[in-house]
Amino acid sequence: MSKTNLTRRGVLKSGAVAGAGVALPTIFTASSAAAYTNEPTGGTVTLGFNVPQTGPYADEGADELRAYELAVEHLNGGGDGGMMNTFSSKALKGNGILGKKVEYVTGDTQTKSDAARASAKSMIEKDGAIMITGGSSSGVAVAVQGLCQEAGVIFMAGLTHSNDTTGKDKKANGFRHFFNGYMSAAALAPVLKNLYGTDRKAYHLTADYTWGWTQQESIAAATEAMGWETVNNVLTPLAATDFSSYIAPVLNSGADVLVLNHYGGNMVNSLTNAVQFGLRNKQVNGKNFEIVVPLFSRLMARGAGENIKGIVGSTNWHWSLQDEGSKAFVKSFGTKYGFPPSQAAHTCYVQTLLYADACERAGSFNPCAVGEALEGFEFDGMGNGPTLYRADDHQCFKDVLVVKGKENPTSEFDLLEVVEVTPAAQVTYAPDHPMFAGGSLGTCNPGA
């Protein structure tokens, strides 16, 4: 088992010491006195922030942790309140959650499923965490979501983009605010058609885990539907740092588009290798060779430097948005940390507030009551326009941004240009869509 890196923040509740746990024939301890797992008994409530502090997605994890700390500050009445002031729900009052001061513990997922589960398990069993949130990998999200379902706590997913998180691996105790591979493809396809035409041959490099698989399936289906041909799809290990051996075959494949289904450090490295091989300066089939990155972020753009200019992709949110919620969050985050937040920071901050708000509206920390409050919840003022937390699959539906790397950035943060705001209706699909088939939510598990 990978070693977890657990950091304690504040004094933990007595409930954790007393062994409040879950009544399941699994690895968890049980307390017959508790109505549900880690029911708060004192004046505080503990949240578990499980993020990649090491590994290929560590940059995202660092920004997630900043956002979580800011959310806790705002929930406890500190700072300027951020998005609590713009959130359409007015249940949060800045006095913690249900009058209890919010404390937190953190863990390092290492971008590894086993390490992430071990970290979450420790936060639930030893630290009394009543909700787990975080992560920048869908492999991690699926693993931790399953653990939280077994343990009887709510999982508020962080940055997870695989269709499977709210598809075949969805769970009643799990909720995702971030968008997914299908949504990226639905938003990108019309833009790619306008930019590059319908007669294209695409070569895919794909991260070899749940996110990569479903992202590739989604973008291939969307581009093939408009006339593109998929020449090849090559799986690459998540731990890879040099993609030269994967890029070289592209040169003789007949492809005129390279689709990098990579994220974080993987994408920075694979894009850098592609540019080193001269792909961006090539002409193939009488057309300029193009590179597409279906999912990317400002943090990745910063890592890629000059190579990101003009490259098209999608993102969940961007700090340049001018709605009141985005402006409030950017101001709060910038005041505290000195630079604008990433999409990872945004989704994690929002998820923390959404959980706290659901507790307030439900009048309880019981995960089943919280789940009921989140299901079918419609809200606004959180940076993505009107948003629905769909009851069928616990997926948020909202506008999606198509972005491209700026040709002339004015600062190290001004790297992406919003090309199009794709309305939620264009990226919405039926709950039984084939890409999300299999599995079922099941029933909420309150644990103890």
- 83 and 232 housed in the same domain: no
Mean pLDDT, the chain, whole residue set: 92
The pTM of this model reads 0.91
Full residue range of the structural domain in which residue 334 is found: 44-179+319-398
pLDDT digits (tens, 9 = 90+) for 355-391: 999 999 999 999 999 999 999 999 999 999 999 999 9
Overall average pLDDT of the 212-233 stretch = 97
* 178 φ/ψ sector (left φ>0, alpha ψ -120 to 50, else beta): beta
**Mean pLDDT confidence for 401-405:** 97
Q: Quote the number of domains for the chain.
A: 2
pLDDT tens column, 63-96: 999 999 999 999 999 999 999 999 999 999 999 9
Closest CA to 40 of 65, 79, 3, 14: 14
Report the DSSP pairing between strands 257-261 and 283-284: unpaired
* 125 pLDDT higher than 50: yes
Question: Could you report the per-residue pLDDT of 246-268, keeping only the tens digit for each?
Answer: 999 999 999 999 999 999 889 99
List the beta bridge partners of residue 154: 131
Question: Is 436 a member of any domain?
Answer: no
- Flag whether 332 is in a domain: yes
Question: Terminal CA-to-CA distance of the chain, rounded, Å?
Answer: 26
pLDDT of residue 298: 87
Kindly state the DSSP code that residue 318 receives in the 8-state scheme.
Answer: -
Give the model confidence (pLDDT) of 94-119 as tens digits: 999 999 999 999 999 998 999 999 99
DSSP string of 211-276, one letter each residue: HHHHHHHHHHHHHHHTT-EEEEEEEE-TT----HHHHGGGGGS--SEEEEE--HHHHHHHHHHHHH
168 and 118 inside one domain: yes
* 105 found inside a domain: yes
Tell me: pLDDT of 418 over 60: yes
The pLDDT value recorded for residue 57 is 87
Strand partners, 236: 207
Both 69 and 168 in a single domain? yes
**Residue 26: what pLDDT?**
34
Q: Is the pLDDT of residue 10 over 70?
A: no
Work out the average pLDDT over 17-23: 32
> For residues 228 and 196, is the Cβ–Cβ distance under 8 A?
no
Provide the pairing of β-strand 44-51 with 131-134. Answer: parallel
Q: Given this model, what pLDDT does residue 34 score?
A: 65
Last residue of a domain, one of 362, 379, 398: 398
Give Cα separations from 108 to 6, 28, 62, 102, 407 (angstroms). Answer: 7, 20, 10, 20, 36
Q: How many CA atoms lie within 13 A of 319 on its CB side?
A: 20
Residues 300 and 328 in one domain: no
Tell me: do 302 and 344 sit in the same domain.
Answer: no
